[in-house]
Structure 1
């Protein structure tokens, strides 16, 4: 009957792994499955716990680094949040100076300022996002834009 507890623990750890996706709880789930196998083979409780601990440690330090490398290689690098906006083009809605302005970036209105001091980017100008400072997009003119001092 102890093998059912180990199987239940493995299932719970597998569900936790689905939430964290760090391959740590998956290694513990493998250890729990090994503990269930030991219980099925008639090992005493201390033997089951020992099998769980040894298999979990071997999986954590032996299999997990390899699995993480494999996962990283097969997963495309996707920029998210603020990093996804850097390099994108936007349209100036309200003149952008080194202090203030408004742009339309990916359908959203952002507060913006010019990357170079003394630059004024008039409404209708196409700009490129250089970086994001907090909630402010720092922009520069694209190559085909003429600037007004």
Structure 2
């Protein structure tokens, strides 16, 4: 009869390889920390410790690494990152000028970045139409439509 505990080292090695492969796909350092915990479990196996001690040691090392080393690695990885918002986040708060009057069915707005978007007036605004040439501010992006509010012109 085969005793599976005689082959735990193969299970540990397989688990380590699987964790490293998943880590290469995710790049979040979570599975890397679990892989290092599994290396501790493999070490316990090679020292001849009981199977439950191996699992306990692997779990403790993994949790410690997840809560201590992983945050430091993520912080280091994200230093120098470009803080400029992109995609939809870049449109929120952007100013624009009305190209085609915005009525209840919609209109067109040319945004400060040069793009022309279909637009509608925010429901919180009392104004029901915005005429051509008026300045607006993007509050929400809903699909291919920006929801805008009129910008009050400052008097000089």
The bucket for the TM-score relative to the shorter chain is 0.5 to 0.7
1:73 match: 79
- Unmatched tracts of structure 2, length 5 or more: 1-6
Matched, 1:23 2:29: yes
Distance change >3 Å, CA 27–CA 40, structure 1 → 2: same
Query: Partner of 1:44 in structure 2?
Result: 50
SS of 2:120's equivalent in the other structure is strand
State whether residues 92 and 139 of structure 2, in contact with CA within 8 Å, keep that contact through their aligned partners in structure 1.
yes
Q: How far does the alpha carbon of each residue in 1:79-108 deviate from its partner, in whole angstroms, 9 at most, with x for none? A: 244322124455644223587322255656
The aligned residue for residue 146 of structure 2 is 136
| 1:5–1:128 CA distance, 2 compared to 1 (3 A) | farther
Q: Which 10-residue stretch deviates more, 68-77 or 31-40?
A: 68-77
Q: 1:121 to 1:10 in 2, by over 3 A?
A: farther
CA 1:120–1:128: 2 relative to 1, 3 Å: closer
Deviates more, 1:67-76 or 1:90-99: 90-99
C-alpha distance in structure 1 between counterparts of 2:40 and 2:63, whole Å = 12
Aligned residues, how many? 142
- For normalisation by structure 2, the TM-score amounts to 0.63
Indicate which of 60, 63, 72 corresponds to 1:57. 63
Could you say what secondary structure the match of 2:106 adopts? coil
User: What is the alpha-carbon distance in structure 1 between the residues aligned to residue 135 and residue 14 of structure 2?
Assistant: 56
CA RMSD of superposed structures (Å): 3.6
| Runs of at least 5 residues in structure 1 that lack an aligned partner in the other structure | 144-149
**Number of the residue aligned with 2:117:** 109
Are residues 130 and 22 of structure 1, via their aligned partners in 2, closer, same or farther at CA, if it must alter by over 3 Å? same
Tell me if 1:11 matches 2:17.
yes
Corresponding residue number in structure 2 for 1:146: none
The offset of 1:58, in angstroms, is 1.4
Shift of 1:55: 0.9
Shift of 1:120: 3.0
For residue 120 of structure 1, what is the aligned residue in structure 2? 130
Structure 1's 18 and 107: CA in aligned 2 closer, same or farther, altered over 3 A? farther
Secondary structure of 2:79's counterpart equals helix
